[in-house]
Amino acid sequence: MSPAAAGVKAMVFDVFGTVVDWRGSIAREIRTLAQARGWRINAAKFADAWRAGYRPAMDRVASSELPWTKIDDLHRMILDDILVKFKITTLSEADKADLNRAWHRLKPWSDTVRGLKRLKKNFTIATLSNGNVALLNNMAKHAGLPWDLILSAEIFHHYKPDPEAYLGAAEILAIKPGELMMVAAHKDDLRHAARHGLKTALVLRPLEYGKGKHPDLSPDPAFDINARDFLDLAEQTGA
Amino acid sequence: MSPAAAGVKAMVFDVFGTVVDWRGSIAREIRTLAQARGWRINAAKFADAWRAGYRPAMDRVASSELPWTKIDDLHRMILDDILVKFKITTLSEADKADLNRAWHRLKPWSDTVRGLKRLKKNFTIATLSNGNVALLNNMAKHAGLPWDLILSAEIFHHYKPDPEAYLGAAEILAIKPGELMMVAAHKDDLRHAARHGLKTALVLRPLEYGKGKHPDLSPDPAFDINARDFLDLAEQTGA
């Protein structure tokens, strides 16, 4: 095992953006639906609008304005709003429920499954996502993600970046925070994890927000590992 | 899919006795330790004594005499008691901690892994055990159990047969109780599951309590499926 992963027993992964391409997947589903129904709609903008509602919705839970509400239900609240904004009025209840489950069908990045299979040989690999358990399980079955187990904000009733999510993952795995590595494409997620003693690996996902968008892709020596993708992460950890 | 499993989307499995041979595995570890240390001890009786403390310890949690306490810690409390009873005084703290983790290393029955791999193609397969998450994950890594996810009393803070364990599993999977099948070698576990609307499959494990012991092996038409082992369960559910 490489020094950067010394003492690491388990890796927990952010999912939306890190493991799967939420924007491309949602836009593709919207585009297919639009073609079938004859709508004229910017599918990528629809995906962006849906995702834009995500953090504010979780903040309403974190501030106790809403009681604990799982992501499937938050996604649905946001969807109902943006359908109005995009002037889509012809979806039945069953259509909306199915569209909401598009988040259960997100596609992995091309290196995801191969990388996870390698990492699984050396580490316990688990999700640590704000997505709810059923969503993450359906996604795993659909995309062939070989998780050892599924951990979710839903289990801790706290969304990242609440400390309970990071520390709850270490506690339920019965390991020390320093034996747990958080893997994410988002620096803020990793900075919160590090604050609670977790090890950190940044994985770059330059296309998360679409071509021509430029998320912050600079490596940061504050993280234990800076990796190009999951295969590079496996390489750097000796898996 | 067979009529008996019609509408079933996920199967949750009791683990100790149903998936793994706790008695043979614990006795084997004790025997090895006894040989190394020169003890004269009945290893099977030691295993039985350890297991006999299990239900009373969980009952102390269920009755709120103890706060929520995970199985690893209950196992350790019981171990400390029976070491005294068996007059074993030469174990260091590290020895005891390692022996307590024998429950993380239990061996599956010979049909377990092949059966689960078949069932996994048609169903979500998960543990629903009173064992804690880390124990179940370590066991799965050790024995190659291909769970989709690990569910545990620890997640619901209620031991089976509290309703919260059975209903919590259905809720976190976002399915109806009737879409969830409980698989167990123990009729009482299944009767509790059925009371809360879950489907049920009895799997016979005639050797759970050792050769010459005769647990109740009669099929019961009240269960949706009565199976000889996990391969028969796969067969009967069309997996």
Min Cα distance B149 → chain A (Å) is: 5
| Average pLDDT score, chain A | 96
Q: Per residue in B7-49, pLDDT tens?
A: 999 999 999 999 999 999 999 999 999 999 999 999 999 999 9
- The reply to whether residue A134 touches residue B72, judged by beta carbons under 8 angstroms, is no
CA atoms within 13 A on the CB side of A190: 22
- The reply to whether residue B137 touches residue A72, judged by beta carbons under 8 angstroms, is no
> How many CB pairs below 8 Å do chains A and B form together?
53
Out of A140, A154, A172, closest to residue B133 by CB: A172
- Nearest-angstrom CA–CA distance, B233 and B24: 23
N-term to C-term CA, chain A: 8
Out of B124, B132, B155, closest to residue A137 by CB: B124
In which band, very low, low, confident or very high, does the pLDDT at A231 lie, cut at 50, 70 and 90?
A: very high
Which pLDDT score, from 0 to 100, does residue A213 have?
Answer: 83
Using CB atoms within 10 Å of the CB of residue B15, give its burial: 0 to 12 exposed, 13 to 18 middle, 19+ buried.
buried
Which pLDDT score, from 0 to 100, does residue B162 have?
Answer: 96
How many CB atoms neighbour CB B14 within 10 A? 22
C-alpha closest to that of A198 among A223, A216, A221, A220: A223
Using CB atoms within 10 Å of the CB of residue A230, give its burial: 0 to 12 exposed, 13 to 18 middle, 19+ buried.
buried
Whether the per-residue pLDDT at A40 is higher than 80: the answer is yes
Q: Across residues B102-128, what is the average pLDDT? A: 98
Q: Per residue in A184-205, pLDDT tens?
A: 999 999 999 999 999 999 999 9
Which pLDDT score, from 0 to 100, does residue B1 have?
Answer: 60
pTM equals 0.96
Whether the per-residue pLDDT at A17 is higher than 70: the answer is yes
Contact residues on chain A for B133, CB-CB shorter than 8 A:
149, 172-174
Q: Per residue in B116-169, pLDDT tens?
A: 999 999 999 999 999 999 999 999 999 999 999 999 999 999 999 999 999 999
A169 touches chain B (CB under 8 A): no
Contact residues on chain B for A149, CB-CB shorter than 8 A:
133, 137, 140, 147, 149-150
N-term to C-term CA, chain B: 7
In this prediction the ipTM stands at 0.95
Whether the per-residue pLDDT at A211 is higher than 90: the answer is no
Which pLDDT score, from 0 to 100, does residue A1 have?
Answer: 60
- Three-state DSSP class for B73? helix
Which pLDDT score, from 0 to 100, does residue B4 have?
Answer: 85
A15 touches chain B (CB under 8 A): no
Q: Per residue in B57-84, pLDDT tens?
A: 999 999 999 999 999 999 999 999 999 9
Among all residues of chain A, which has the CA nearest to that of B131?
A172
Which pLDDT score, from 0 to 100, does residue B148 have?
Answer: 98
Contact residues on chain A for B148, CB-CB shorter than 8 A:
137, 140-141, 147, 150
A164 touches chain B (CB under 8 A): no
Domains observed in chain A: 3-21+107-236 (3.40.50.1000), 22-104 (1.10.150.240)
